[in-house]
Amino acid sequence: MASLQIIWSIFVKDLRVEWRNRETLASMCVFGLLIVFLFNFSFETAREETLRLLPAVLWVAIAFAGVLGFNRSFASERENSCIEGMTLAPVDPSMIFVGKMLANLLFLGIAEVVMVFAATLWFNFSFLPSLGELTLIAFFGTLGYAALGTIFGAIAANTRMREVMLTILQFPIAFWILMLSIDATSNAMRGDPGGNWAGGAARVAGISVVFTVASFLLFEYVLEE
């Protein structure tokens, strides 16, 4: 089977499972909404403060919602012993990684749209003027975050207290993806006075690609029994 076909079937399988029970996506979106709501309600910001706070609020919400989804991604496979079936299949484990990562990327992307929409309403802030820049930053930031989340989700599924374990692995290592994404988002939202959102986006992209490649190469050792 061609690699693309394997990736596609894993990706579609995850989507189908999600379509049937709607657990992961619903919990990610609601959890993300709650975080944005709590921050908005507790700060009651004016515009200048919004510009300072909103990027961090959004990325923190993305980080937490993401961890929720990544946990489900492999925990469900383990609960139903599907992971054995996937490991036995005569395919390259890295392809399984790519398929699952793309599914996670899509779920987190949808949750991000919901969170950004809520932030637009509650913070009374329009993202439209810099929508292109923000989409690019969000894509690369989410890519690296989802790649790490997928491999650490698979690792944490082997442990007791896997929810805690995933967070403990994910946050220190994804730290710079989040921090640099916040920085770049903040620059883009301000209409970019210093003209350095592109540099920031390039750094986020660089780090994300490094982590994605590293996770891709190492994933076969995670599935190995």
CB of 182 to other proteins, least distance (A): 10
Burial environment of residue 56 by CB neighbours within 10 A (0 to 12, 13 to 18, 19 or more): middle
**Residue from 148, 189, 201, 205 in contact with other proteins (CB under 8 A):** 148
- Work out whether 77 is an interface residue with other proteins (CB under 8 A): no
- Work out whether 1 is an interface residue with other proteins (CB under 8 A): no
Burial environment of residue 9 by CB neighbours within 10 A (0 to 12, 13 to 18, 19 or more): middle
CB of 5 to other proteins, least distance (A): 27
- Which residue is listed with tokens 């932030």? 119
What residues contact 1, with CB distance under 8 A and at least 6 apart? 91
Site string for other proteins, 158-177 (x = CB under 8 A): xxxx---x--xx-xxx-xx-
Q: Which is nearer to other proteins, 117 or 175 (CB)?
A: 175
Phi and psi of 4, rounded to 5°? Answer: -60, -35
> Which residue type is seen at 130?
S
CA 209/CA 194 separation, integer angstroms:
25
> Do the Cβ atoms of 57 and 39 come closer than 8 Å?
yes
CA 179/CA 196 separation, integer angstroms:
15
CB of 118 to other proteins, least distance (A): 28
Among the listed ranges 39-47, 56-64, 65-73, 154-162, the one in contact with other proteins (CB under 8 A) is 154-162
Judged by CB under 8 A, the chain residues 203 through 222 that form the site for other proteins are: 203, 207, 210-211, 214-215, 218, 221-222
- The binding site for other proteins (CB under 8 A) comprises 148, 151, 155, 158-161, 165, 168-169, 171-173, 175-176, 179-180, 183, 203, 207, 210-211, 214-215, 218, 221-222, 224-225
